[in-house]
Amino acid sequence: MSKYETIEHTADTGVRAFGGTVEEAFCNAAAGMFSIISDPAKVQGKERFEISVEAEDRETLLVEWLNELLYLYDSRGMLMSRFEIDYMSETSLRGAAWGEPIDPARHDLRTDIKAVTYHMLKVERRPEGWVAEVIFDV
Amino acid sequence: MSDLELVQINPLLWEIPRTGDMRVPGRIFADRALIGQASEEHALQQVANVACLPGIVMASLAMPDIHWGYGFAIGGVAAFRLEDGVISPGGVGYDIACGVRLLRSNLIFEEVKESVPGLVHELSRMIPAGVGRRGQIRFGQKEMDAVFTRGAPWVIEQGYGWPEDVDVIEDGGFLPGGDPSLVSHRARERGFAQPGTLGAGNHFAEVQLVEEVFDPQVAAAYGVFKGQLCVMLHSGSRGLGHQVCTEYVKLMGAAAVRAGISLPDRQLACAPIDSPEGREYYAAMACAVNFARMNRQVMTHLIRQSFEYIFKLPAERLGLATVYDVSHNVAKFEEHEVGGETIRVCVHRKGATRSFPAGHEDVPAHYRDVGQPVIIPGDMGTASYLLKGAEGAMRESFGSTCHGAGRVMGRRAARRAIQGHELKKRLEAQGITVRAGSNRELAEEAPEAYKDIDQVVSVCHRAGLSSKVARLRPLGVVKG
């Protein structure tokens, strides 16, 4: 099974991510988000950022996790390529992301993501594993 | 795709009758072809969802460029009573005060034809555009606070533009009520390196030619004539606005639950206008609106510098004046007639443009006799329009009209169907100079990814929401 696939939406783009565990699905959703921004194969995990977020349920927790990463991208120009979640409950999460600052000579930037939306947001357990779905405003 | 009932009221108006939790009907301005495109997506369901929100008056409306958004449909207009209505960050969108500015000149295209490619190149050098691009202009915290409360007039005082620019920017260049203490550290960080930057996606700076004038008297009042060289700018509040919206969608998700508002879609998160969350969102949104107006004003300054460099004359001598600057993603308090009574409402325009007619007190004094200029950016291979506000908009759409062509094709589908470098060649064969950050982004914004702008504008004209003044053809495009 692939780690993620992009979802087509007339004006926007989303990601459907898969995982054997919910943590894995969340990490793959983050990888999917950064694959929309640039080519993940060219991003090295040089710097580590600790991420800790809280939300009222698992769906909003996904939005918060991705928003945290998007904030690091937009304010500090960080592209991320590796993700890990150490602890996760229904309402909180602790983990880390590894990446490096944008280098225009090496990174071909594809699409700007403005925000992570709540539209059609989904985190669910299926017989084959966890699925996380989210739409971005691009 | 949608199971909703759709009733045709007249050739250009369709209604979704009230069902279930809808408090008012849905109404879509469109001809048969455009309504067909809207019905293929979830856009009509989104119009119906907005009709379920508390305090909504008359109808949940959509303009002919309607397409599927997240939460609210793009092209949506909804007005809410102040007493029991709501304000919704999702009803404004992430790119708060995204909008358009049109600059005119006294240059005649035929006389300066040879200089256009050089001018487009110079504009692309002066205005940072594209994914992840940062600008050169930075403001400190105190200066940012001034931006948040006074927008364009403040930045003009710092030397970015002409004093008379403010007369022809919506609200005199700033929306009152901005409270800088509500703009988070994160929002400030995201906006820090972005003053005077265009952004990516559908944002652009275009050199355009006034190809056709439909209403010579109004065009003259706007200083526009056939054969003239103009510049159109389409951009917004950048990362700062995105962060403000992100924070308030989250906050209001919880606020809606507390207020007992059941949401058909989480992205419709909202709070009563008259509640702490509602008031705070408006005051934070106003800061982002003013940031967007500062941003387009700074880019106006950069455009003038580019013209001066290419034509070796001061911008004043080139007549590089602002025609108008108007936002199409915003919530505003306005007076409208509802059921025979004039009431104050909070109008949300998400991908819709204010379109006030002649005589309205919010139309700049220069234009009060003819009506507010309405600027409609089209796709880069076809055309953009200058319209004027019309009476019909006050009766039917809370003083609103369309905002652009509206997408019909997803970005990935566009990339599959269109090769960026071939599109560039095709545009250049049409005489359009293109300066784009990447071929990939260019393909996503191809003309065929959009609806027919002529058709969209024509529906608004015939429906009486706005009247055609001039059609502008692109000569050169700067994109991300």
Residue-by-residue DSSP string for B207-252:
EEEEEEES-HHHHHHTT--TTBEEEEEEE--HHHHHHHHHHHHHHH
Is the Cβ–Cβ distance between B111 and B270 less than 8 Å? no
Annotated catalytic residue within B336, B403, B421, B461:
B403
- The domains of chain A are located at 4-137
Q: Establish if A91 touches chain B: CB-CB under 8 angstroms.
A: no
Contacts of A56 in chain B (CB under 8 A): 253-254
Beta-sheet strands, E only, within B264-399: 271-272, 322-327, 329-338, 341-350, 353-354, 373-376, 384-389
CA A112 remoteness from chain centre: 14
Band the pLDDT of A131: cuts 50, 70, 90.
very high
Residue-level pLDDT at B65: 95
Q: Establish if A39 touches chain B: CB-CB under 8 angstroms.
A: no
Nearest to A110 among B186, B192, B440 (CB): B440
Q: How far is B379 from chain A (nearest CA, A)?
A: 14
Contact A63 B243 (CB under 8 A): no
Contact A56 B131 (CB under 8 A): no
Helix (H) or strand (E) holding B443: helix B439-444
**CA B252 to CA B281: how far, in whole Å?**
9
Q: Could you read off the pLDDT of A83-110 as tens digits, one per residue? A: 999 999 999 999 999 999 999 899 988 8
Cβ under 8 Å to B: A residues 105-124: 108-112, 114-121
Going from the C-alpha of A111 to that of each of A37, B11, B134, B447, the distances in angstroms are: 5, 39, 15, 18
Residue-level pLDDT at B131: 81
The CATH architecture one would assign to domain A4-137 is 3-Layer(bab) Sandwich (3.55)
Within 8 A by CB and 6+ apart from B438, the residues are A108, A109, A110, B130, B131, B420, B480
Contact A10 B67 (CB under 8 A): yes
Which structural domains are found in chain B, ordered by start?
7-84+96-408+450-479 (3.90.1860.10)
Residue A4, phi then psi, degrees to nearest 5: -160, 160
Contact B410 A110 (CB under 8 A): no
Contact B70 A64 (CB under 8 A): no
pTM, two decimal places: 0.96
Q: Is the dihedral angle over the CA atoms B5, B9, B13, B17 positive or is it negative?
A: negative
Cβ under 8 Å to B: A residues 46-85: 56, 59-60, 63-64, 67, 71, 74-75, 77
Contact B41 A10 (CB under 8 A): yes
Going from the C-alpha of B425 to that of each of B139, B201, B439, the distances in angstroms are: 40, 20, 11
Residue of B nearest to A37 (CA): B131
**CA B145 to CA B292: how far, in whole Å?**
14
Mean residue pLDDT across chain A? 94
Q: How far is B441 from chain A (nearest CA, A)?
A: 7
The residue among B47, B59, B57, B48 whose CA lies nearest residue B84 is B57
Best residue in B1, B247, B266, B479 for a mutation probing chain A (most A CBs within 10 Å): B266
**CA B435 to CA B478: how far, in whole Å?**
5
Q: Could you read off the pLDDT of A48-87 as tens digits, one per residue? A: 999 999 998 999 999 999 999 999 999 999 999 999 999 9
**CA A81 to CA A27: how far, in whole Å?**
10
B203 is annotated as an active-site residue? no
**CA B411 to CA B358: how far, in whole Å?**
39
Contact B199 A118 (CB under 8 A): no
**CA B362 to CA B344: how far, in whole Å?**
14
Q: How far is A126 from chain B (nearest CA, A)?
A: 22
Contact A71 B192 (CB under 8 A): no
Residue-level pLDDT at A64: 96
Averaged pLDDT, groups of 10, chain B, 480 residues long = 84 97 97 89 92 97 93 96 97 97 98 97 94 88 97 98 97 98 97 93 95 98 98 97 96 87 91 96 98 98 98 98 98 96 97 98 96 96 96 98 90 89 94 89 90 96 98 94
**pLDDT for residue A6 is more than 50:** yes
Q: How far is A85 from chain B (nearest CA, A)?
A: 22
Q: How far is A51 from chain B (nearest CA, A)?
A: 15
**CA B84 to CA A125: how far, in whole Å?**
39
Question: What are the beta bridge partners of residue B238?
Answer: none
Q: Please give the interface size between A and B, counted as residue pairs whose CB atoms are below 8 Å apart.
A: 113
Percent of chain A whose pLDDT exceeds 70? 99
Is the Cβ–Cβ distance between B281 and B92 less than 8 Å? no
**CA B283 to CA B175: how far, in whole Å?**
10
Q: Is B281 helix (H, G, I), strand (E, B) or coil?
A: helix
